[in-house]
């Protein structure tokens, strides 16, 4: 299935898997998804992920989700910057998400990173998502 926003598709698959307490999901491969999943792994949303190749063209990521006492570690993942409306934020404008209990993923000139790290490095960029 081809979607116009593959990152939103990743988030939808994770949220849907959380609702039915699924252990793993498969998503089509892309470099930005790998970057997002690495951050999710640091934050405890996913246990691990691996690349699965069907043939030379089709690549998938198998994502193993993490649960804390049978519940998802966060309530929601919101896509902020969409293909139709890009949202950018300077490091001075970065306020804590949910009084510090959530986080943002920012796409900066130095790659994908958490909003707290981007603020430390004094980098702004495109807001990919907010996790609350």
Q: Say which CATH number the domain at 81 has.
A: 3.30.1490.10
Considering its fold, how many domains does the chain have in total?
2
Residues 11 and 61 in one domain: yes
Spell out the per-residue pLDDT of the chain, length 132, in tens.
566 899 999 999 999 999 999 999 999 999 999 999 999 999 999 999 999 998 888 999 999 999 999 999 999 999 999 999 999 999 999 999 999 899 999 999 999 999 999 999 999 999 999 999
Residue 25 lies in a domain: yes
Q: For the chain, how big is the Rg over CA atoms in Å?
A: 15
Q: What's the whole-model pTM score?
A: 0.94
Residues 58 and 12 in one domain: yes
């Amino acid at each position: 299935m081809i979607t116009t926003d593959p990152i939103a598709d990743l988030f939808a698959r994770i949220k849907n898997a959380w609702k039915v307490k699924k252990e793993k999901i498969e998503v089509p491969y892309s470099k930005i998804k790998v970057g997002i999943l690495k951050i999710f792994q640091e934050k405890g949303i996913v246990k691990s992920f691996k690349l699965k190749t069907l043939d030379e063209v089709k690549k998938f990521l198998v994502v193993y989700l993490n649960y804390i006492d049978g519940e998802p570690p966060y309530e929601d993942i919101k896509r902020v910057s969409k293909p139709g409306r890009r949202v950018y934020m300077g490091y001075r404008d970065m306020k804590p998400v949910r009084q510090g209990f959530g986080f943002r993923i920012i796409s900066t000139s130095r790659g994908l990173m958490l909003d707290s790290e981007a603020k430390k490095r004094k980098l702004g960029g495109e807001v990919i998502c907010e996790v609350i």
